[in-house]
Amino acid sequence: MTRFALTLEFDGTPFVGLQRQVTGPSVQQAVEEAAERVTGEKVTLHSAGRTDTGVHALAMRSHFDIEKDITPFRLMEALNAHLRPDPIAVTHCEEVDEDWHARFSCVGRRYVYRIVNRRAPLTLDLNRAWQVPQELDHEAMHRAAQALVGKHDFTTFRSVQCQAKDPVKTLDRLDVEREGSEVRIHAAARSFLHHQVRSMVGCLALVGMGRWREERVGEALAARDRQQLGLNAPPHGLYFVEAIYAQDT
């Protein structure tokens, strides 16, 4: 039995999320079915993170175990051939030790959220960014974001459906930058609560629009009350960027 680590890039638009769901097609289902067609074996895909409907990934790390004797390059090529026309690509494949786990060995995760701040309709970025027509003050957003950095109880920014046992997380980075009409929010932590990034982005957007004072973000955090959440940003602007492992640091 060989454990293969995969790096997946995908457009989340047509999927109900990364994990298998009874409600529709998932990235996990597509990759597992492709692997079965390649190897003749049923596999279970394990991934560094979970993504909701419409959320994308630039480099999601995943793994599965197979008995078939095959090189990583041939496996990658075969998987990509069988994944078409789904918008999923295996961009890297390698053999790893049997005790390496895409989820449990991961020591850090990075996301980026893209906002296109313009009035004209989106064309190339349709379903790949959140369009906000009101002018955003990205510097105010960045200042407000710093209240969320560090170890906190993120109950306010946690989905009511979140299955995590503990709402306390340590946020290592939350930076807001602008390049032209695009505002990007970069978030990094060991792990995140369900909807945490989207909830933080939504509140920062309210600051950028001038509808919230900068200090209100910290006040919402301190309230530890989901009812204090101002806005949950839509999923299609969110991208899983990187999974970090001890050997990478």
Mean pLDDT over the full length of the chain: 96
pTM of this prediction? 0.95
Quick one: tokens of 140? 């105010």
- Decide if 163 contacts 194 (C-beta within 8 A): yes
**Residues counted in the chain:** 249
Q: Last residue of some domain: 62, 96, 130?
A: 96
CATH classification at residue 179: 3.30.70.660
Establish if 101 belongs to a structural domain: no
Answer yes or no: do 152 and 172 share one domain: yes
Enumerate residues 6+ apart whose C-beta is below 8 A from 140: 207, 208, 214
Answer yes or no: do 119 and 196 share one domain: yes
Which structural domain, as residue segments, surrounds residue 228?
107-248
Answer yes or no: do 238 and 165 share one domain: yes
Answer yes or no: do 113 and 69 share one domain: no
Strands 88-96 and 106-116: unpaired
What digits encode the pLDDT tens for the residues 159-198? 888 878 899 999 999 999 999 999 999 999 999 999 999 9
Short-list 207, 94, 191, CA closest to 143: 207
Answer yes or no: do 7 and 78 share one domain: yes
Q: Last residue of some domain: 40, 66, 96?
A: 96
245: number of Cβ within 10 Å: 17
What digits encode the pLDDT tens for the residues 99-109? 999 999 999 99
What pLDDT is stored for residue 248 in this prediction? 66
d(CA 75, CA 68): 10
CATH classification at residue 13: 3.30.70.580
- Decide if 215 contacts 197 (C-beta within 8 A): no
Give the residue numbers annotated as catalytic, written as ranges: 52
Domain count, the chain: 2
SS3 140: helix
Mean pLDDT, consecutive 10-residue stretches, the chain (249 aa), reads 97 96 94 97 96 96 97 98 97 97 97 98 97 98 98 94 89 98 98 96 98 97 94 97 85
d(CA 64, CA 169): 28
Answer yes or no: do 49 and 161 share one domain: no
- Decide if 93 contacts 6 (C-beta within 8 A): yes
Handedness of CA 124, 86, 239, 197 (dihedral sign): positive
Kindly tell me the number of DSSP H helices and DSSP E strands found in the chain: 5, 10
Answer yes or no: do 84 and 159 share one domain: no
Amino acid residing at 177: E
Answer yes or no: do 50 and 81 share one domain: yes
Q: Last residue of some domain: 96, 123, 140?
A: 96
What digits encode the pLDDT tens for the residues 133-147? 999 999 999 999 999
- Decide if 10 contacts 25 (C-beta within 8 A): no
79: number of Cβ within 10 Å: 23
